[in-house]
Structure 1
Amino acid sequence: MSAAPTASLAVEESADRVVVRLDRPDVRNAIDQQMVTELHEVCATLEADPRILLLTGSGGTFAAGADIGQLRERRRDDALRGINSGLFDRIRRLPMPTIALVEGYALGGGAELAYACDFRIGTPTTRIGNPEPGLGILAAAGGTWRLVELVGEPVAKEILLAGRVLDADEAHALRLLNEVVEPDDLLAAGHRWADRIARQAPLAVRLTKTVFHAPREAHPVIDDIAQAVLFETTDKHERMTAFLERRKEKK
């Protein structure tokens, strides 16, 4: 892997995946404008060269939220720019799957960043919630609608309206976390998930993610078009041929 340090991220790239570490441990990886800008640069890289994204934090914390010092000074026009919501939506739309490695706190914008990922792996220290109304604002970067899709309306309302913070066991029981591992195993667990994804046909994974997130009215046409593309690939022919040969050998 090659590593590229930046002001607020540590980025490691390899052929089929990119590991991005939020690297502001002195402020529990609070998401500021610099980090937003750098994450957009990561997105641009992954849109041009699709790979699996593993997203983690430094210092035993995923991201404790947006940078409150900057957030306090933002006004109406800043909100309308969708600074965090635009970034998180871009992450959700990345061509290949994304995996959030959530150690410690994922609160506010940190939680919404995790919600935007396809998979979330936690540790016993994981705490996830959206305390925005306690600061006089709302979870406007996906929390008010992604969370209900992930955990259902009753729990989402407890988190968004009553300040409930989920611990690791609760989040895992709700499948908000796909897996819970010890902190020392967190990155390795992320790579195990990435390995499972990487064993699939890359274009099939990309198109499956696209079709999965397509609006209801796009189906079944989008399914058929995506399948038509895959039917013409060498990868499909080679993988099915190998399957048939393995089955023949077992007889």
Structure 2
Amino acid sequence: MEYSTLLYGVEDGIGTITINRPKALNALNGAVMADFTDLLPKIAADEAVKVVIITGSGNKSFVAGADITEMQKMSAIEGRKWGKLGHEVFDKIEKLPQPVIAAVNGFALGGGCELAMACDIRIAADSALFGQPEVGLGITPGFAGTQRLPRLVGKGIAKELIYTASNIDAQEAYRIGLANKVVPAAELMEAAQKLAKKIMSKSSTAVQLCKAAINEGLDVDLASGSAYESEVFGLCFATEDQKEGMTAFVEKRKPVFTGK
């Protein structure tokens, strides 16, 4: 699959998406969103892909935000349509059945921070910079920054970051829970792939059901989330992976999962 703004490849069960607009610091524009819209359903349907990694081209920027030159002259109707498209694309990323790791290799500002937050796990290079600078441009975050950031770091910290348009470095992002891990920039992709392989050593069916249960539970009350968990827990007992995993445990050997 070839795209004008994305590089995509699959190796050993890991699908890697690289946003490839390095001269624009990988800023999100209509072409990027169109490429994501085409690619994501194909990944979702590909059983050979067990984990997805999203990163940016070059060593300066993951995604420096949405493309200001494209947004500058938008009308209110056009701005709403653009924001809605961003929500739709990032929701597709969040709802991919496969776990998604953001390998944040530099600027993750505005739409870039929002993209990283739509992923399940964020590994940051020590050179990464996170922030929601929108109020400094006279707008609000438009791709769910006001929704995902408080859910990740808490309401008070999220409000401070958004109200002040402050950028934070990788270590501060780790301290507040925005980044799961910080590694030297030269080791970023290796660390992301290592984590992907660790996830892949487990039952892909169970991992995907866990992702569904977590995502579903965050949007409902505890009782409803617990009921959903009970359902997916029960489903596990209809799988070959459950039988293999528990048999291997009893037999004191490593399980060999097939995702069935």
Residue 52 of structure 1 corresponds to 51
- Maintained 8 Å contact 2:124/2:182: yes
CA distance in 1, matches of 2:226, 2:154: 26
Write the distance in 2 (CA, Å) between the matches of 1:219 and 1:194.
Answer: 26
Q: Deviations over 1:126-174 (max 9, x none)?
A: 1100111111111021110110111112221121001111101101111
Find the counterpart in structure 1 of residue 252 from structure 2: 246
Unmatched segments (≥5 aa) in structure 1: none
Instruction: Report the RMSD for the aligned CA atoms in angstroms.
Output: 1.4
Instruction: Tell me if structure 2 keeps the 8 A contact 1:63–1:107.
Output: yes
1: distance between equivalents of 2:115 and 2:97? Answer: 17
Aligned to 1:155: 157
Note the C-alpha offset of 1:101.
0.7
Aligned residue number for residue 10 of structure 2? 13
**Which stretch of the first structure deviates more once superposed, 47-56 or 72-81?**
72-81
Give the partner amino acid of 1:78.
Answer: E
Post-superposition shift, 1:15?
4.8
Compute the displacement of 1:5 (Å): 4.0
Give the drift of 1:46: 1.9
Match of 1:75 in 2: 75
1:142 aligns with 2:144: yes
Structure 1 counterpart of 2:54, one-letter code: L
Aligned letter for 2:70? Answer: Q
Aligned-pair identity (%): 34
- Note if contact 1:24-1:30 (Cα within 8 Å) is conserved in structure 2: yes
Q: Which amino acid aligns with 2:51?
A: I
Q: What CA distance in whole angstroms lies between the structure 2 residues aligned with 1:40 and 1:148?
A: 26
Q: Distance in 1 between matches of 2:230 and 2:154?
A: 30
2:170–2:179 CA contact under 8 A, matched in 1: yes
2:258 alignment counterpart: none
Q: Give 2:139's aligned amino acid.
A: I
User: Which one-letter code corresponds to 2:52 in the other structure?
Assistant: L
CA separation in 1, counterparts of 2:21 and 2:126?
22
TM-aligned CA deviation for residue 110 of structure 1: 0.7
State the aligned residue count. Answer: 244
One-letter amino acid of the structure 2 residue matched with residue 228 of structure 1: G
Residue 19 of structure 2 corresponds to which residue in structure 1? 22
Structure 1 residue identity aligned to 2:145: G
Letter in 1 for 2:213: V
- 2:225 pairs, out of 219, 223, 234, with 219
Q: Which amino acid aligns with 1:77?
A: I
Equivalent AA in structure 2 for residue 10 of structure 1? L
Q: Structure 1 stretches (4+) deviating beyond 3 angstroms?
A: none
- State whether structure 2 residue 119 is matched by structure 1 residue 117: yes
TM-score (norm 1): 0.93
Cross-structure match for 1:232: 238
Distance in 1, matches of 2:134 and 2:80, equals 17
Secondary structure at 1:56's aligned position in 2?
Answer: strand
Contact 1:46 1:95 in 2 (8 A): no
State the alpha-carbon separation in 1 of the partners of residues 133 and 16 from structure 2.
28
Task: Give the match for residue 210 of structure 1.
Answer: 212
Q: Which SS does the other structure have where 1:59 is aligned?
A: coil
Distance 2:174 2:162 in 1: 18
User: Matches of 2:98 and 2:77 in 1, distance apart?
Assistant: 32
How far is 1:176 from its partner?
1.1
2:2 & 2:140 partners in 1: Cα distance? 32
* TM-aligned CA deviation for residue 190 of structure 1: 0.6
Task: Please give the secondary structure, in 2, of the residue aligned with 1:49.
Answer: coil
In structure 1, distance between residues paired with 2:14 and 2:190: 13
Shift of 1:64: 0.4
State the TM-score, normalizing by the size of structure 2: 0.90
Q: Measure the CA separation in 2 of the matches of 1:87 and 1:52.
A: 18
Work out which of the residue numbers 137, 161, 174 in structure 2 matches 1:172.
174
